[in-house]
Amino acid sequence: MNQYPVWKYLLIAFVIAICTLYALPNLFGEDPAIQISSAYARDMPINENIQRDIEATLKESNIEFLSVERDTKKLLVRFKNTTTQLKAYSVLKDGLDGYVIAQNLAPATPDWLTAFGGKPMYLGLDLRGGIHFLMQVDMKTAIQQDEETYINDFRTLLRENKLRYKGINHIKTGEQTGIEINFTTLKVREQAKQLIAKQYNDLTITNADGVNQYGIFMAFTEQALRENQQNALEQNIITLRNRVNELGVSEPVIQRQGDDRIVVQLPGIQDTARAKEILGATATLEYRMTYGAREEWLDADKTGKVPLSARLYHERNGDPVLLKRRIIVTGDQITGAAATIDQQSGQPAVSINLNSRGGKRMLQNTRKNIGKPMAVVFIEYNIKSEIINGKKVIHRSKTEEVISVANIMGEFSNRFQTTGLTSSEANNLALLLRAGALKAPMEIIEERTIGPSLGQENIEYGFISIVIGFIAVMIFMLLRYRIFGMIANLALLMNVIILIAMLSLLQATLTLPGMAGIVLTLGMAVDANVLIFEKIREEVANGNSPQTSIHLGYEKAFVTIFDANLTTLIAAIMLFSFGTGPIKGFAITLSIGIVTSMFTAIMLTRSVVNFSYGDKQLTKLPI
């Protein structure tokens, strides 16, 4: 009656063996490490030469390291403690221009386990230490940038349809911003109005007449505003993820909070200044043709009279430059960028790759303007806040400067170089352009740095709580159910091992709430065995034989156990779907724990009971 076929015993043993193997990496901990990487490997690869240079630099500075590991993308240097790690970081960051250097924690898993694909589970910010940022997205600037894009589109549209206009400007009326276009005749105004309304259904268009002019005022509809703000938030999240990848952070947390905020958590990173510099930066480029001759530039700077089809900029040395309003290529059309050295001048440069649309526009422009000067505009958005009279006041600024004016010597499209930057600016700009441009600038409104010592303390306390709970449950089961209690305790131990193995295989992130989920899983797992053993006792009391009591105990308790675990699983899924951060961590651990507890409490204990008592003539059960 109570017998499993041999294949089922072998299957259970195989599952336990595999899970034990993949749970082992979590016993070896992590080493403080420094990760050196180069996203533009074509120009500055990670090879044996750079490895030798790093080892020599560390030895000259009397810094001991455990090992140096290298692959095609990165080089990892391990240290005994965080003090040595920080000292090495200070030495290397000054001597390795052009490389991304990040402080991290590297798993100390043995090679033989790594060969099987064994990896420890990730530890969250509260366990590992790192940096927490809460970032506010400047939605007003995002909408203004969308409106400026439309202004360029309107200029092209009206020019192609030969509709003359007096001026097109970005204006603000009260809290509402929009675009105003003025015409000289009513007929042209009506033609332009119909043309724009036909192609842009996300705008509300109203008449705005003045003295001797006929105008239209255009603003985004409420639905378009919501969509633009949603797109700005999503684009910023994607860009932040790309930038975090450049920093070499394992398992970062980047998620939306509300309608205009983003939470960024970087486990294992202690370099707050570098993280803030990369995450909050909004540098990008624009390529424009120059307007007129140098004499016109100087005159416009002195008099302040700028032609309608031009804009006044300044170079870094203060010299004025007139550029055409029409933008050839913007930063969002750049698909690749790498810091390099210009072969002719020997100056720092950024090698640019454009998408097909940007490459086509650049080719058309260079083909028509060979021998004419083209300018590169470096743009950076800044946002700062201060408390004035008890109220938070936000200051927005936009820095635009011409970094290069050079004659177009020949046709080119999607591959070229930009010069005029310092070495540091070239490296940072290349990183930002590769990761993508932020849709809108962001302000860090909350910043927390969690040290590794605090994380270690959390790990120790969490581990102690699990051990105490585990021992208390084992003692109770042993006293209450004797030998059957020992079987339940064995299943409980296997449940913890399988749960940790599953978290490691899925590369899930363990947080303090996740540890709470493990403790809860222990109680739920033993609860199933309590139901089974009480049913067995009840059947024995009803006069059934021991073998029949075992069979009926498992059969009758199964439905109750399944229903209870199913309802808990539904609750865990809802927590994961609608929760954030720590709540998701708790939900993941609880969900996996429910599945593993079902396996160990029913199949594993049943297999041990069947193997021990299935073929015996029993008169009494030790329960």
Cα atoms found within 13 Å of the Cα of residue 68, Cβ hemisphere only: 19
In a domain, 115, yes or no: no
Tell whether 413 and 314 lie within a shared domain. yes
Both 405 and 467 in one domain: the answer is no
Tens digit of pLDDT for each residue in 125-161?
777 777 888 888 888 878 887 888 788 788 888 888 8
Helices (H) and strands (E) in the chain, counts: 17, 22
What average pLDDT score do residues 210-233 get? Answer: 85
Domain assignment present for residue 114? The answer is no
180 in Cβ contact with 208 (< 8 Å): yes
Number of domains in the chain: 4
Across 399-423, average pLDDT: 81
- In this model, does residue 342 exceed pLDDT 90? no
Cβ–Cβ < 8 Å for 216, 150: no
| Confidence (pLDDT) at 570 | 92
Could you tell me if residue 121 is inside a domain?
Answer: no
Q: Which residue has the tokens 């590169």?
A: 376
Same domain, yes or no: 264 and 191? yes
Q: Beta strand 391-407 with 100-107: parallel, antiparallel or unpaired?
A: unpaired
Residue 507 and residue 436 share a domain? no
Do 199 and 341 sit in the same domain of this protein? no
338 and 255 within one domain: no
CATH number, position 565: 1.20.1640.10
Is 117 within a domain?
no
> What pLDDT was estimated at residue 47?
79
Residues 287 and 436 grouped into a single domain = yes
Written as six digits, the tokens of 284 are 């990008």
Answer yes or no: are the C-beta atoms of 34 and 101 closer than 8 Å: yes
pLDDT of 315 strictly over 80:
yes
Residues 6+ apart with CB under 8 A from 28: 107, 108, 109, 110, 120
pLDDT of residue 43: 47
Give pTM, 2 decimals.
0.60
Looking at the predicted structure, is the pLDDT value of residue 41 above 50? no
pLDDT band at 297 (very low <50, low <70, confident <90, very high): very high
Sheet strands side by side (includes 74-78): 67-70, 74-78, 30-37, 100-107
Among residues of the chain, what percentage have pLDDT more than 70?
Answer: 87
The answer to whether residue 552 is domain-embedded is yes
Query: Is 125 contained in some domain?
Result: no
**pLDDT in the model for residue 45:** 64
Q: Single out the residue of 97, 99, 447 nearest to residue 280, CA to CA.
A: 447
The dihedral over CA atoms of 456, 458, 462, 464, expressed in degrees to the nearest 10, equals 60
pLDDT score at 326? 85
Classify 71 as helix, strand or coil.
Answer: coil
**pLDDT above 90 for 117:** no
Q: Name the residue with higher pLDDT: 535 or 331.
A: 535
Q: What is the mean predicted confidence (pLDDT) over 428-448?
A: 72
Instruction: Return the pLDDT at 42.
Output: 42
Q: Mark whether 321 and 390 lie in a shared domain.
A: yes
Q: Is residue 297 domain-shared with residue 421, that is, in the same domain? A: yes
- pLDDT digits 0-9 by tens, 61-94: 899 999 888 876 678 899 988 889 888 888 887 6
* Whether residue 434 sits in one domain with residue 288: yes
In a domain, 619, yes or no: no
Q: Which domain holds residue 305?
A: 281-449
CATH number at residue 419: 3.30.1360.200
Between 430 and 4, whose confidence is greater? Answer: 4
Among candidate residues 107, 139, 162, the one where a domain is terminated: 107
Q: What's the distance, Cα to Cα, between the start and end of the chain in Å?
A: 19
Q: What is the pLDDT of residues 573-602, one digit of tens each?
A: 998 888 766 787 788 888 898 889 889 888
Give the model's pLDDT for residue 428.
66
Q: Are residues 383 and 496 in the same domain?
A: no
What's residue 22's pLDDT? Answer: 93
pLDDT in tens, 243-264: 777 665 656 778 888 888 898 8
- When pLDDT is cut at 50, 70 and 90, the band that residue 383 belongs to is low
Whether 40 has a pLDDT exceeding 50, the answer reads no
Domain final position from 390, 416, 449 = 449
Mean pLDDT of 608-614: 86
DSSP code per residue over 241-256 = HHHHHHHT-SS-EEEE
513 and 420 fall within a common domain: no
Q: Share the mean pLDDT of the chain.
A: 82
Q: What value does the mean pLDDT take over residues 92-119?
A: 78
Q: Is 548 left (phi over 0), alpha (psi -120 to 50) or beta?
A: alpha
Q: Where are the alpha helices (DSSP H) in 284-381?
A: 294-303, 356-368
